[in-house]
Structure 1
Amino acid sequence: MSIALRQHFEEIITLTDAEFDYILSYFTPKKLKKHQFLVQEGDAVTNEYFVVSGLLKAAYTNEAGKEHIIQFAMENWWITDYQAVANQSKANLNIDCMEEVDLLCISFADKNKLCDEFHKIEHFFRIKTGLGYIALQKRILSLLNNDAQSRYEQLLKQYPALFQRVPKSLIASFLGVSRETLSRFSRKNQD
């Protein structure tokens, strides 16, 4: 598990073995089975999670009971209820495992401590946060400006592996379309 995390860090920063070993000491491994919840609405959330293997889904359920998928997270992605962690409030999201997952978790306090101690780690998380914000902004703009067919094609181009691992009904929910509409796009794309 530690190899995946080190490679992930070293996409942006360089670490000595001693630095990485110290940083790794702040992470705790966690293993969950398919359909288990990592976070449930109303939970206190203190950790951020790095996905070593597996696939998770973060979703918000509105008052009418409709689920809105906010994020999928697969290998080398980070996931948590960021609002709950940052504000030390209860979770608004449910994060559940779509496959068996191996995670490395770090508490918000430990992450901040590491960022204070190591400029390199602060730099890494600053870059990662910026990239995450850009991805979120692109998703919002796509939802506002693109038709459903364009959103489908963009997701397929950007994350083709997602279509092999996620049921079509959940891809449809993520894109804000019906399952039937998604099937129509899929058939059109195969022609």
Structure 2
Amino acid sequence: MNNPEQFLKTHIDKTVPLTDEEAGFIISHFDLKSFRKGEFIIEEGNEVNEVYFVLSGLVKLVYEDQDAKKHIVSFAMEDWWETDFQAFYTQSKAQLTLECIEDTLLYSLSLENFEKLCSDSRKMERFFLRKSIAGHIGSQTRILSFLTSNARERYEQLILKNSSLLQRVPKSSLASYLGVSRETLSRLF
């Protein structure tokens, strides 16, 4: 990543245009972090103090049920935000893990700095509101997909929305995300 600051500014500019001065102020609230493939950014049971903006790499958000079966809730790649949002906003223990599928470079934003940005910058308050609404819409769409679509239809929706995942994510992870067995996914390919 040649210029992380410019990448974040460009991302925010798509929603709310920023002056260079505003961008400098906003970026000063973020911390640059890197993780290796296989590392956990968030682990179930731990506190979640940050939300993450992915600059490069790929992560997966995972829920492990009482039978130790892992369910992939989402993937986040370049230009996406991710965290265990419930734990982050309520300052409770994580129910999810966030694991790197690839070496990952990201910006982290603490809850304190998130709240400060929202109170000090109407633009950032509007930015985060729009991102939150888009996230809610995405979650509802995914839930409705599980309620109304069969495995093939969910797979086709994934290809339409995020075809790059097919090259970047192991088939077993794709199967978990789609709610099917690896064997079923192989039949869909």
Normalised-by-shorter TM-score class: over 0.9
Distance 1:57 1:2 in 2: 24
**Is 2:16 aligned against 1:18?**
no
TM-score normalized with structure 2 length: 0.97
What CA deviation, in whole Å up to 9, does each residue of 1:23-71 have, x standing for no partner?
1000000000000000000111110000000000000101100001101
Q: 2:36 is matched with which residue?
A: 33
CA shift for structure 1 position 108: 1.1
Q: Give secondary structure in 2 for the equivalent of 1:104.
A: strand
**Residues 142-153 of structure 1 mapped to structure 2, 5 A cutoff:** 142-153=145-156
TM-superposed CA distance for 1:19, in Å, is 0.7
Aligned to 1:56, what secondary structure does the other structure show? strand
Structure 1, unmatched stretches of 5+, are 187-191
Give the 3-state SS of the residue equivalent to 1:71 in structure 2. strand
Deviation readout 1:3-37 (Å, 9 max, x if unpaired): 11011000111111111001100000000000000
**1:89 maps to 2:88:** no
The reply to whether residue 57 of structure 1 matches residue 57 of structure 2 is no
- C-alpha distance in 2, partners of 1:86/1:39? 14
What is the letter of the counterpart of residue 30 of structure 2? F
CA-CA distance at 1:99 after TM superposition: 0.2
Distance 2:114 2:87 in 1: 15
Pairwise CA RMSD: 0.6
- SS of 1:48's partner is strand
State the secondary structure of the residue aligned to 1:50: strand
1:112 is displaced (CA, Å) by 1.1
TM-score by length of 1: 0.96
SS at match of 2:67: coil
User: How many equivalent residue pairs?
Assistant: 186
Match of 1:183 in 2: 186
1:1-191 residue pairs with structure 2 within 5 A? 1-186=4-189
Deviation at 1:157, TM superposition (A): 1.0
> Partner amino acid for 2:183?
E
SS in 2 for 1:59: strand
Counterpart CA distance in 2 for 1:42 and 1:178 is: 27
Q: Distance in 1 between matches of 2:139 and 2:7?
A: 24
Q: Which runs of 5+ in 2 are unaligned?
A: none
